[in-house]
Each structure stands twice: as structure tokens, then as C-alpha cells.
Amino acid sequence: MVCSSDSCALLLDFQHKFCTVAELKCFSWEDLIDHLVDLDDLSCKDHIDKLLSSTVDHPIVRKYPLKPTFRKGFLKQFLNSVEERGLTHDSAYERLVSLLAEPDTDRELHYRHFPIKNRFITIQESRNFLAHGTTGLHAWQAGIALANWGIRNKEHFHFKRVFELGSGLGLTGLALIFSDTPPLSYTFSDCHPDVLQLLKKNIILNSTSDGEDVPKRVNKTNVQVLDFDWSEEGGPRLSKLFQPDLIIAADVVYDFDSIPQLCTTIKTLITTTKAYSLVACTVRNEETLDNFLESLGGSGLEVSEDEEEDEEERDPKGKDTFWHSKELPVKIFKITLVSENSII
């Protein structure tokens, strides 16, 4: 069978999932091994070499390492799979064994790399979903889903002024900034000092700036980072500072107690700036989500859920840019002011 390792779709899929640290069960192990078995010896070795050089040995992974336990788990799974099918290539095997011998203690922070066009967006994050009393030191599923959605639905973002609440590590914003249709300006915000610090670090890491301050411009977008706590300020200060076209947020609906303040902030920002809002929610608890939607609906806002077809049914251009787990659904809501006509 003829297949060039440089353009092999399976290898590309493995690289993408590896660099974003996807769960090991989400890799197509059987398909990969079936493919390798079908190749002649030389081509099979070439594919294995390519797999290693585009994952564990990729220069960006060497410079900014992934979680060691993940890398080791990936190699063990690969080694077991090739051994089971009797595929032995000495040089690749030796490389695998030497990589497996490296220490595997996870540090508190590690990197993930999200491929977009001809580059990666690199995010440094905590190994824990909850660290230093915040959820914000980890890149969450709804943030990735909102980035994918925004890249597909570019008319919402292209050349627009975007304000993000609870930005966490900044992946959604960076993805939009490095898309083909970047926003005019992007304001990241969060309230937790450790999150703000890592968010700034991630923006600098992905820009061409080598200074210690967040650059004013990244790619073609004007950028700023705000220390903004929606539970304290409710929004009036912001609407005096700037006029966004769009207010977005991802994975900020999880704490029942903070929902009223979050809704008040969204409402104040929408009323005072005439912007609209897009909020991406991972559906973990229906009750929490219902509470959020009821609070918004009862405050003079109109909420509609985006009804996109599933990824498998979309044409190739509509496929997700970034992989994320699909175990829990993510819903995207558009929030606007109730128009005068609909009140009558």
C-alpha cells in the first residue's frame, strides 16, 4: 500500500490529539496499527519514525513539554499495540524505550499545543482542574468548543471588538486572534491573580514579543487584559471604558451562587453598550444551566440556543479546528436585549 508519511491523515490526527493532550482512549489505535500492518517494511518504519518526530520528539513538545505521565502513557499504549501485532523496528523500539526511561513526575504546570493553520497555540496550564482555589488554571472544554464555533461562525468575530468574561488561560481568545478572520480588538478578563498572571504569560508566549508585558497587538488584533470581577462590579465601570460589539464567556456557569451576579453583569453590559453576548456552557448539571437561563430570561433578555448540526454531519470546511472531549455536550447561547417589538 502506498501512503506518504508526510501526508498521512492518521498520523496528522495522532499529532493533533497528542499535542492537545487528548484522552488516550480517543486515539484511533486500531486504525493506526491496521494501517501500519498494510505497509511495506520501509514505509512502515518511515511511518513510525514520523509518528515519533511529530509527537514525543516534535520540537515544540521538546521546548514546552506536555505532562510526563501523558507522554509515557501514550508511548506505552503505542508500544503495546505494535508488539501485539508483531511490528518490530529496532531503531523505533530503542527510541521508545529510551523515552520511557525518562523521569515522569508531573510538575504543577505543563503545556498543551493547539494546532491552527501553520502554527500552534501554546497554553501553559495546571495539571489539576482545581488549583489555588480556582478553576481558571486549566483550559476547559467549553472554551475550546467556543473557539471552534467562533472560527466557523466568523461573522461574529471578524473585525469586531470582543470582551471576554472569565478568560482563564486565554485559549478561546488566542484561537480567534490567530484564525483567518481575527477580531479588531480582544479584551481578556478574569478576577483571580494566579489566573491573570498565567493568562498574561500565555499571551506573551504566543506573541512575537520578548518583553515581560502583554503586547498591545497580537497578530492583527489589539489586545488588553483586565482584572474584572463580575461579582463585585456588575459592569458599569466597563461600559464607560470601552464599547464591545460582543461579550463572550465559556464555562463560567458552574457555581449556583454566582449565577445572579453573572447575569446582572451580562445584562448591564448588553444594555449599556448595545452589544450581544455568546455564552458556551458545558452541560454538567441541568439544574444549574436552567437556573442561568431562567435568571437571564427574567431580566429582560432574550436567549436562544445555537442549533448547529453535529460535527459528523458538517461538510469538511465546518469540522472542528481543535479536538476536545465530547463526553459532555456543550451548548452555545446567544443573549440579546428583548426588542421593543417583542415586548408589545
Residues of this chain that interact with ligand SAM (CB under 6 A) are 134-136, 139-140, 142-143, 166-168, 190-192, 195, 228-231, 250-252, 258
Which secondary-structure segment (H or E) carries 336?
A: strand 330-337
The phi and psi torsions of 197 (rounded to 5 degrees) equal -65, -45
Give me 206's grid cell. Answer: 504566543
Tell me whether residue 258 is exposed, middle or buried, using C-beta atoms within 10 angstroms of its C-beta: 0 to 12, 13 to 18, 19 or more: middle
Give me 12's grid cell. Answer: 496528522
Give me 123's grid cell. Answer: 497554553
Can you tell me whether residue 68 is helix, strand or coil?
Answer: helix
Give me 97's grid cell. Answer: 524505550
Q: Which is nearer to ligand SAM, 78 or 333 (CB)?
A: 333
CB 325 within 8 Å of CB 23 = yes
Min separation Cβ 89 and ligand SAM, Å: 39
The length of the chain, given as a count of residues: 344
Q: What angle is formed at CA 288 by the lines to CA 287 and CA 289, rounded to 5 degrees?
A: 90
CB 151 within 8 Å of CB 114 = no
Measured distance CA(128)–CA(124) in Å, rounded: 12
Min separation Cβ 140 and ligand SAM, Å: 4
Measured distance CA(206)–CA(159) in Å, rounded: 20
Min separation Cβ 30 and ligand SAM, Å: 31
Give me 18's grid cell. Answer: 497528542
Q: Which is nearer to ligand SAM, 11 or 137 (CB)?
A: 137
Which secondary-structure segment (H or E) carries 288?
A: helix 286-297
Min separation Cβ 197 and ligand SAM, Å: 12
Q: Which is nearer to ligand SAM, 245 or 251 (CB)?
A: 251
**Going by C-beta distance under 8 Å and a sequence separation of 6 or more, which residues neighbour residue 183?**
157, 158, 159, 160, 161, 162, 176, 177, 221
Q: Which is nearer to ligand SAM, 8 or 139 (CB)?
A: 139
- DSSP 3-state percent helix, strand, coil across the chain (nearest 5): 45, 20, 35
